[in-house]
Amino acid sequence: MRTKKLTFLITSGPTREYLDPVRYLSNASSGKMGCALAMAAHRQGHRVIFVTGPAVHASPRGARIVTVISARDMFRQVKKWLPQADIVIGAAAVSDYRPRSVSARKIKKSGVDCTLSLVENPDIIGFVGTHKSRAVVVGFALETADATKRAQKKLFKKNLDLIVANGPRSLDSAKTSACIIGRNGLVARREKITKSLLAGEIVHESLRLHKNNFAD
């Protein structure tokens, strides 16, 4: 029996929040995990809409590539494509904050300390969890302490179906250690696994959840 073709909406890479024309707030995300997820979904014959920030890793073949810069750019594109999505995986490392104002010119030294005022960015995966309808939603939780506990809290707070907890060592690395957590608890714990193999497990579990939750 042929597997039904589904549409994956995957966010990937970092976002950039500009302070002035040449400086910005960002993080060390390479986009490797997002690319691995997109390739895993595509290999199984599914459609992939790939919304990516300015990552250094090459974009995955076979996916519809949507490039963005800021968290608000990514939010707009996710809202645009969400109605088409059967499975949403939020693998992007989205900036939680952005500068309250952006200077039109390069900020120069003035001889005194500079105070940066920040405001919160939209909660993209939280929005998706609230508006997911018949989609399975997978989030990521990169934590520096109590990763499993904090990830479980995030899963229920944002109404996700699955969450992947990992740590900062996974950034820009070919391998990672992670826990895959569902609404009923731990699904799998993996140590020093390649991102490609972990992506395959995440895609497999998200497809299983979709089949169980939305079987025709």
* Domain limits, the chain: 7-95+119-213
Q: Which of 27, 121, 159, 213 is catalytic?
A: 27
Place of tokens 């589904």: 6
In this prediction, residue 145 carries a pLDDT of 84
Active site residue 27: yes
Per-residue pLDDT for the chain (216 aa), expressed as one digit of tens each? Answer: 446 899 999 999 999 999 999 999 998 888 999 999 999 999 999 999 999 999 877 789 899 999 999 999 999 999 999 999 999 999 999 999 999 999 999 999 888 888 899 999 999 999 999 999 899 999 999 888 888 899 999 999 999 999 999 887 777 677 888 999 999 998 888 988 999 999 999 999 999 999 998 876
Both tokens assigned to 106: 């390069």
Report the candidate in 187, 99, 137, 131 with the shortest Cα–Cα distance to residue 11.
137
pTM for the full predicted model: 0.93
Distance in angstroms (rounded) separating the CA atoms of residues 195 and 34: 9
Distance in angstroms (rounded) separating the CA atoms of residues 164 and 104: 39
DSSP per-residue string spanning the chain: -PPPP-EEEEEESB--EESSSS-EE-----SHHHHHHHHHHHHTT-EEEEEE-S-SSPPPTTSEEEE--SHHHHHHHHHHHGGG-SEEEE--B--SEEESS--SSPPPP-SS-----EEEPP-HHHHHHHS-TT-EEEEEEE-SSSHHHHHHHHHHHTT-SEEEEE-GGGTT-SEEEEEEEETTEEEEEEEEEEHHHHHHHHHHHHHHHHHHHS--
Kindly list the distances between the CA atom of residue 40 and the CA atoms of 14, 116, 196, in Å, as whole numbers in the listed order.
Answer: 20, 40, 8
In this prediction, residue 133 carries a pLDDT of 87
Q: Report the top-level CATH class of 7-95+119-213.
A: alpha beta
